Amino acid sequence: MNEKIANLAKTLTATGKGHIFYSSNSLEDYIRNAVSFIVYGIQQGDYVLFVENSRIFPMIQHHLKERLTEEEQSALHYINNFDFYWRNGNFHPPTILAYLDEVMAAGNGTKRNVRTWGHVEWSDSQDIEREIAVYENELDRMVLQNEAISVCAYNAERVSEELKKKLLSCHGYLMTDNSIISLANK
């Protein structure tokens, strides 16, 4: 994790909350940042919910095994992103948010702060930008209410300009592979 992103992690840990839109262009940087997010969170004593696809997670898990003990890894709760976002066969914000609320409650039950990382993906045939915006706006409220830290990760090539504007309006930070900026004046 580069210095700017590491400093943000420290700031978010101090405040206990933050909603981050991560627009990624590089798989290598994405994996490096995801590993850093998980490791830093676990080292801070947080419960980490990590929503990722089954192709990328093993690459991340490989790095985690090098940096975390088995006991530390038990603070990581992995969910396949297809199972998480498409639970009922479609991207349905109320269903996703209800499930997320259950998982966050389980994490809060451990008396730990909760941090989440969700890699949002969809197929080309589906026009779900409106549903994504609904989900992200409600997630923003939930993150702040639960005093959680949440990264919403997107492949930059898949995000239209219209969706990007919507995502920028409901996140407190914009993160790229090598930088992060506050959107406090959104």
Q: Is the pLDDT of residue 125 over 70?
A: no
In Å, the largest CA–CA distance within the chain is 43
From the CB of residue 77, how many other CB atoms can be counted at a distance below 10 Å?
15
Whole-structure pTM value: 0.90
Q: What is residue 87's predicted lDDT score, i.e. its pLDDT?
A: 83
Q: What's the pLDDT tens digit per position in 159-184? A: 999 999 999 999 999 999 988 888 87
Q: Distance (Å, rounded) from C-alpha 99 to C-alpha 116?
A: 13
Q: Collect contacts of 7-12 with beta carbons under 8 A, ≥24 apart.
A: 8/173, 8/175, 8/180, 9/36, 9/37, 9/40, 12/149
Q: CB of 42 within 8 A of CB of 48?
A: yes
